[in-house]
Amino acid sequence: MNKVIIIGLDLAKNVFQAHGARADGSVAFRKKLSRSQVLPFFAKQPACLVAMEACASAHHWARSIRDLGHEVRLIPPIYVKPFVKRQKNDSADAEAIAEAASRPTMRFVAVKSIEQQAGGMTFRTRDLFVRQKTQTINALRGHLAEYGVIAPKGVANLSRLVQAISDPDSGLPDQVIELGRMLLSQIEELQQKINGLEREIRVRTREDDVASRLMTIPGIGPICASAMMALAPPAESFARGRDFSAWLGLVPKQHSSGGKERLGRTSKMGQRDLRRLLITGAMAVVRWAARRGASEGSWLARMMARKPKMLVAVALANKMARIAWALMAHGGVYRDPLAAA
């Protein structure tokens, strides 16, 4: 009865808090640990369940503590908050984590491997460079607008700004031209880094069987496929495709009561990077279908005939997520329903 069955660990940079709980829920210990004491402390503990919030450095600590023979579970912080009693401090947080982990219906986050985290870092680094490139282009366009040089938004219109800076008769001051060239150099450097990361992503997705099969789905390319492999939990974490779509935040919000079902807009409560990529890919499919024409009698053709493009894209992203889960969970490649019929 005195055996510790759950240890809640509140993570930090240097000072960690551990809360041990027995089978009856009583407190076995409350212990403050420095960073260097964490692994030696768990190495001395009998094998038990160790729970942590899924926050910064959680996957590293989960792998390290799991290697010591413990079962490790990561809990989304939003699910821990209801168990915090009154005042917030490290001790109360650790106790709340242990209490949340003991709930039989609690949802947990899958521990990522080193390779998954490396893939996620590649995707997010590329995403950061793309945002920095957009920011730099917007800054250059804004600065030149002060001197009467106007260009529409978008990377495709960058050539107008380049032409204005290169034109000796543009009337721009020498200092503005010099600073503009610095910004253009920064844009070119960022584009080279983006191209290099995209080449790496394409090579990795071609070599990965699951990623290659995901790319057979219209609207999913190498970047979306690699992001799904790096950021999504294992397919077996979900019972069906709708659960995966709900995790991505692509299903309607519910506000149902009294037996009346009320559905609202998409929840947007899941992994926003994957959700954004799926919607972007779906919008590309919708635009292609608007130009070339969707297959007669297809779901996409019926939706486009009566719904706005953005709504169709979100609905299509929902379908793409469910198809992606089916391919990851059961294998196979995407087949066009009309062609299969």
CATH number at residue 20: 3.30.420.40
Domain match, 333 and 222 both: yes
337 pLDDT higher than 80: no
Domain match, 230 and 321 both: yes
Residue 182's SS3 state is helix
pLDDT for the residue 341? 45
Domain match, 310 and 221 both: yes
1 pLDDT higher than 60: no
Locate 101 and state its tokens: 């982990």
11 pLDDT higher than 70: yes
Domain match, 82 and 143 both: no
pLDDT for the residue 338? 60
Domain match, 235 and 150 both: no
Whole-number Cα distances in Å, 334 to 220, 320, 330, 331: 11, 10, 12, 10
Residue 172 phi, psi dihedral angles, 5° rounding: -80, 145
pLDDT for the residue 83? 94
Residue 8 phi, psi dihedral angles, 5° rounding: -90, 125
pLDDT for the residue 169? 83
Residue 152's SS3 state is coil
323 pLDDT higher than 90: yes
217 pLDDT higher than 50: yes
Domain match, 29 and 82 both: yes
Residue 279's SS3 state is helix
- 188 in any annotated domain: yes
Residue 290 phi, psi dihedral angles, 5° rounding: -65, -35
DSSP state letter for 54: S
Over the Cα atoms of the chain, what is R_g? Answer: 26
**Which of 78, 101, 124 is the endpoint of a domain?**
101
**Which of 189, 207, 225 is the endpoint of a domain?**
207
Q: Give the helix/strand (H/E) hosting 65.
A: helix 58-66
- 281 in any annotated domain: yes
pLDDT for the residue 336? 79
pLDDT in tens, 257-271: 887 888 778 888 888
Domain match, 190 and 222 both: no
Domain match, 230 and 326 both: yes
- 212 in any annotated domain: no
- The angle at the Cα of 237, spanning 235 to 241, to the nearest 5 degrees, equals 60
- 330 in any annotated domain: yes
pLDDT for the residue 156? 86
- 48 in any annotated domain: yes
pLDDT in tens, 40-99: 999 999 999 999 999 989 999 999 999 999 999 999 999 999 999 888 899 999 999 999
Domain match, 141 and 70 both: no
Percent of the chain, pLDDT > 70? 99
pLDDT for the residue 168? 85
Domain containing 193 equals: 114-207
Locate 303 and state its tokens: 């939706």
Round to the nearest angstrom and report the end-to-end CA distance of the chain: 62
Tell me the torsion sign for CA atoms 21, 23, 26, 28: negative
Domain match, 158 and 227 both: no
pLDDT band at 339 (very low <50, low <70, confident <90, very high): low
183 and 136 Cβ atoms separated by less than 8 Å: yes
Which residue type, as a one-letter code, is found at position 217? I
- 107 in any annotated domain: no
Which residue type, as a one-letter code, is found at position 25? G
Q: Is the pTM of this model over 0.95?
A: no
Domain match, 224 and 310 both: yes
pLDDT in tens, 255-305: 888 878 887 788 888 888 999 999 999 999 999 998 888 788 788 989 998
pLDDT in tens, 108-158: 999 999 999 999 999 999 999 999 999 999 999 999 999 988 888 888 889
**Which of 55, 77, 101 is the endpoint of a domain?**
101
Domain match, 307 and 285 both: yes
2 pLDDT higher than 80: no
- 312 in any annotated domain: yes
Q: How many structural domains comprise the chain?
A: 3
119 and 42 Cβ atoms separated by less than 8 Å: no
318 pLDDT higher than 80: yes
- 108 in any annotated domain: no
Q: Sort 38 into a burial class: Cβ within 10 Å, 0-12 / 13-18 / 19+.
A: middle
173 pLDDT higher than 60: yes
